Amino acid sequence: MTIVDMLRRNAAAYPNEIALVEDNPEVRERRHVTWREYDLVEDTAEEAYRREMTWLVFNEQSSRFANLLLSRGVHKGDKVAILLYNSIEWLPLYFGILKTGAAVVPLNFRYSSEEIEYCLEKSDSDILVFGPEFIGRVEAIVPKIQKGRLLFYVGDDCPTWAESYRELAMLCSSADPMIPLSESEDAAIYYSSGTTGFPKAILHHHQSLTQAAEMEAVHHLTTHDDVFLCIPPLYHTGAMMHWLGSLSVGGRGILLRGVSPKTILSTVSNEGCTIVWLLVPWAQDILTAIETGTVRLKDYELAQWRLMHIGAQPVPKSLIRRWREVFPNHAYDTNYGLSESIGPGCVHLGLDNIDHVGAIGVPGYRWECKIVDEGGATVAQGEVGELCVKGPGLMECYYKDPEATAETLIDGWLHTGDMARQDEGGFYWLVDRKKDVIITGGENLYPVQIEDYISGCEDVQDVAVIGLPDERLGEIAAAVIQLKSGHESTTVEQINEFCLGLPRYKRPRKVIFADVPRNATGKIEKPLLRERYGATGLVDKENQS
């Protein structure tokens, strides 16, 4: 059964039940912001505040778009790109593309004009579907991309150089084209979320999407009555694949535009959310808001919230300890994965393993794991090596990049580029990215371990540890620390004193007080930090010992 079949089944079984809600609670509070700040334009704020869609309408809307695409000559093997912020149109468009037999190409909404052009060309996308927030970026490259390529616009006031999706789709039949699909056919091209250079195009078959849907429901015991809150961008496999768990059981999904603690807690309360996937910064912000009294838990109905899980980046143990103190009844899970392994879940902590917080967990549903050395040989239990995964959610290849594919997929195993170890209980512990390991005076330092320790300091909001060039030691560890609001008077000396609990060789040689940049999926942008502080010298308060 493909995920398209799952949608058809839900439309038949639950035609009048709500499938999707788009919620924009911050819009009414700040009507005069620009789209660059809140991804919305002022004159559509009231319309965009809250919209909902039943499973029947979801299925019909996807069929209308499929029939529009088919009328324009789209067929199996074609590629159709989506460039939208999270909205109620996003998923019906995704499924409409799949219904034609074509592959979906979700694009990062942070891409520049140059990156949009590159990704369209790299993926061989014949059509681009885009929203009002991207008119300027797309218009800048229209002369280059429009020849031989269709541009569909989702929104009001369609540009003259594009076609209106809404107007054209309404003229198309809502009857399902029922084009046969198999698990071995191309389904989607996702782009890697690398922080430097152009991203790699990752090709997945339908089997990967089915695996993600089934795996998510198994891991989190998802039922038809669960309500899933989706905050991260749907262009990324993390958000999309977690939502597929709701699809697999016909559960409701809430697409939230806004990440403030008040917004998240209000939405959980008002929409009756039971499962919430957070990124580390959002969880930290919620806890800080509660601890400082900015929000009061008694103002919200949260008794139904049963599961909080985190993925996309290492999770500090101190964060989960604090979370459990505030929300003692929450089940918790950590999800590890890559876009190449169809997002989070190829390794997961598991709901019953709260005593192993800090580990990324055990192999996920239908996945296998191993740790290898530089020569590809499996290392002894407890030793550090590169984590490799194998399962039905593996990518088919890096599209049109056989060399990169051969370097990453070896004998059916995906080499993740993450350094890890396995303990005696079979749990895997992420040590660090292979490329982020710091070699100082011949010793290997793993930044994640140092970050985990420093995050336990009550003054610290966020921390990133990077390697900086050093003439004597080769590299030294530098801690970029973002302090909590109200703790700006914290000194380098106080941080150094706190770090005395680390072995001497693991203590940061430099401390930099500055914001810690993270990308849209919550990952720390370490290449940016290395460039900022390695090439141009240190700024703000700093110290070298």
One-letter identity of residue 213? A
For position 220, what pLDDT does the model report? 96
User: Could you tell me which residues are beta bridge partners of residue 479?
Assistant: 465, 511
CA distance 153 to 130: 5
Indicate if the pLDDT at residue 223 is higher than 70. Answer: yes
The mean per-residue pLDDT over the stretch 298-322 comes to 87
Q: What is the mean pLDDT of residues 84-93?
A: 96
The overall average pLDDT reported for the chain is: 88
Sequence-separated (6 or more) residues with CB below 8 Å from residue 85: 39, 109, 131, 133, 233, 257
Under 8 Å between Cβ of 230 and 254: yes
Q: How many residues does the chain have?
A: 545
* pTM beyond 0.75, yes or no: yes
pLDDT value, residue 472:
64
pLDDT at residue 197 tops 90: no
Average pLDDT over residues 247-270: 95
Residue 138: what pLDDT?
Answer: 96
**355 located within any domain:** no
* Residue 454 exposed, middle or buried by CB count within 10 Å (0-12, 13-18, 19+): buried
Q: Is 540 left (phi over 0), alpha (psi -120 to 50) or beta?
A: left
What does the pLDDT average to over 442-461? 84
Rounded to whole angstroms, the Cα distance separating 515 from 453 reads: 18
> Tokens 């990077």 map to which residue?
466
Q: Do the domain assignments include residue 277?
A: no
Report pLDDT for 242: 94
CA 75 distance to own-chain centroid:
29
Nearest to 276 by CA among 265, 262, 291, 285: 265
Mean pLDDT of 189-215: 87
User: With 0-12 CB in 10 A as exposed, 13-18 as middle and 19+ as buried, what is 232?
Assistant: buried
Query: Which residue, 346, 368, 360, is CA-closest to 219?
Result: 346
Least confident among 76-80, 255-259, 390-394, 520-524 = 520-524
229 within a domain of the structure (yes/no) = yes
Predicted confidence at residue 351, as pLDDT, reads: 93
Highest mean pLDDT among 245-254, 460-469, 473-482, 519-528: 245-254
The pLDDT confidence band at residue 504, using thresholds 50, 70 and 90, is: confident
Alpha helices, DSSP H only, in 347-446? 402-408
What is the pLDDT at residue 385?
A: 93
DSSP letters of 472-515?
TTEEEEEEEEEEPTT-TT--HHHHHHHGGGS-GGGS-SEEEES-
Confidence at residue 319, expressed as pLDDT on a 0 to 100 scale: 86
User: Hey, is 464 helix, strand or coil?
Assistant: strand
Following CA atoms 515, 517, 520, 522 in sequence, which dihedral angle do they give, to the nearest 10 degrees? -90
Average pLDDT over residues 273-280: 92
Nearest to 277 by CA among 324, 253, 309: 309
> Which of 61-65, 322-326, 466-470, 531-535 is predicted least confidently?
531-535
**Do residues 351 and 331 touch, judged by C-beta distance below 8 A?**
yes
Confidence (pLDDT) at 521: 63
Residue 407 confidence (pLDDT):
93
Residue 537 pLDDT grade (very low, low, confident, very high; cuts 50, 70, 90): very low
Mean pLDDT over 102-129 rounds to 94
Which of 249, 274, 305 is the last residue before a domain boundary?
Answer: 249
Q: Which of 249, 271, 299 is the last residue of a domain?
A: 249
Asked if pLDDT for residue 399 goes beyond 80, the answer is yes
In whole angstroms, give the CA distance from residue 248 to residue 217. Answer: 7
Q: What is the pLDDT of residue 279?
A: 84
Which carries the bigger pLDDT value, residue 99 or residue 238? 99
| DSSP-derived pairing of the beta strands 79-83 and 127-130 | parallel
Judged against a pLDDT cut of 80, whether residue 40 lies above it is answered with no
- Identify the pLDDT of residue 419: 85
Token duo for residue 154: 């989702």
pLDDT the model gives residue 381:
95
* Least confident window among 432-436, 464-468, 508-512: 432-436
Q: Which CA distances in Å does 131 have to 92, 190, 254?
A: 14, 19, 20
pLDDT at 299: 97
SS3 416: strand
- Whether 46 has a pLDDT exceeding 60, the answer reads no
Convert the pLDDT of each residue in 311-333 to its tens digit. 756 677 888 989 999 999 999 99
228-237, 493-502, 519-528: which range is least confident on average? Answer: 519-528
- For residue 173, how many C-alpha atoms fall within 13 Å in the half-sphere facing its CB? 7
Last residue of a domain, one of 198, 227, 249: 249
pLDDT above 90: residue 520: no
The whole-number pLDDT of residue 26 equals 66
As a whole number, mean pLDDT of residues 28-37 equals 34
pLDDT of residue 270: 95
pLDDT at 81 over 80: yes
Q: Over 50: is that where the pLDDT of 78 sits?
A: yes
In a domain, 307, yes or no: no
| Residues sharing a CB contact under 8 Å with residue 503, sequence separation 6 or more, in sequence order | none
- CATH classification of the domain holding 45: 3.40.50.12780
Alpha-carbon span 109 to 350, nearest angstrom: 32
Q: What is the pLDDT of residue 34?
A: 30
Q: 542 and 482 in contact (C-beta within 8 Å)?
A: no
Q: How confident is the model at residue 195 (pLDDT cuts 50, 70, 90)?
A: very low
Answer whether residue 28 shows pLDDT above 60.
Answer: no
Band of pLDDT at residue 470, cut at 50, 70 and 90:
confident
Range of the domain at 78: 3-249
Question: Cα separation of 428 and 326, whole Å?
Answer: 27
Residues 6+ away with beta carbon under 8 Å from 533: 466, 468, 478, 480, 512, 539
Rounded Cα distance between 392 and 215, Å, is: 10
Lowest mean pLDDT among 24-33, 65-74, 465-474: 24-33
What share of the chain in percent tops pLDDT 90?
Answer: 68
Q: Environment class of residue 352 by beta-carbon count within 10 Å: exposed (0-12), middle (13-18) or buried (19+)?
A: exposed
Residue 477 belongs to domain with CATH number: 3.30.300.30
Pick the more confident residue, 503 or 411. 411
DSSP 180-198: ---TTSEEEEEE---SSSS
pLDDT one-digit tens code per residue, 121-166: 999 999 999 999 999 999 999 999 988 899 999 999 999 999 999 9
237 Cα distance to chain centroid: 6
Q: Is residue 406 part of a domain?
A: no
**Residue bearing tokens 């079949």:** 5
Structural domain total, the chain: 2
The answer to whether residues 264 and 286 touch, using CB atoms and an 8 Å cutoff, is yes
The answer to whether residue 47 scores a pLDDT higher than 50 is no
Residue 230 lies in a domain: yes
Query: 31-53 burial, b if ≥16 CB within 10 A, otherwise e?
Result: eebebeebbbbeebbeebbbeeb
Q: Report yes or no on 285 lying in a domain.
A: no
Outline where DSSP puts E strands in 280-395.
307-311, 331-338, 343-348, 362-363, 368-372, 385-390
CB of 280 closer than 8 Å to CB of 315: yes
Q: Tell me what the mean pLDDT of segment 12-38 comes to.
A: 67
- Can you tell me the distance from the alpha carbon of 467 to that of 272, in angstroms, rounded to the nearest whole number? 44
Q: How far apart are CA 161 and CA 58, in angstroms?
A: 28
| pLDDT at residue number 281 | 80
Residue 119 lies in a domain: yes
